[in-house]
Amino acid sequence: MTSTDSPDCLFCKIVAGSIPADIVASSDTAVAFRDIAPKAPVHVLVAPREHYPDVPAFAASDPAGLASLIALADGVASELADGQYRLIFNTGPKAGQTVFHVHAHLLAGGDLPGFA
């Protein structure tokens, strides 16, 4: 556990390895694991090892960490799909955020539906 871990946070526990997950890639700063309820052929969550509640907090405190997370996501998209993907950071409950440890949804592996 690091000083920024949040003891009741699900993704802190997954990053620490105390709750199992299907981890597909990791780096010094971030972990990529399959979403338990996939919405696309490839649906991977990419979360920093450090706890931040959402992407603006993460970007403000650690912009290099955010860039590193995106690089890890990009690599996973090339490994598991064809390198084309959608990256979503749900931010706030009205936007669908349910886990308040920042994470990117990496969606890939097929023609993704549009937003319209």
Could you confirm whether 103 is annotated as catalytic?
A: yes
Binding mask 21-60 for Zn ion (x = CB under 5 A): ------------------------------x---------
| Cβ-contact 21, 14 below 8 angstroms | yes
Element (H, E) at 67: helix 63-80
Question: Is residue 54 a contact residue for ligand 5GP (CB under 6 A)?
Answer: no
Indicate which single residue of 24, 48, 101, 108 sits in contact with Zn ion (rule: CB under 5 A): 101
Nearer to Zn ion, 7 or 114 (CB): 7
Q: CA nearest 31: which of 64, 91, 75?
A: 75
Give the range of 1-9, 28-36, 60-68, 70-78 binding ligand 5GP by CB under 6 A. 28-36
> How far are the Cα atoms of 3, 46, 114 from residue 104, in angstroms, in the given order?
22, 5, 18
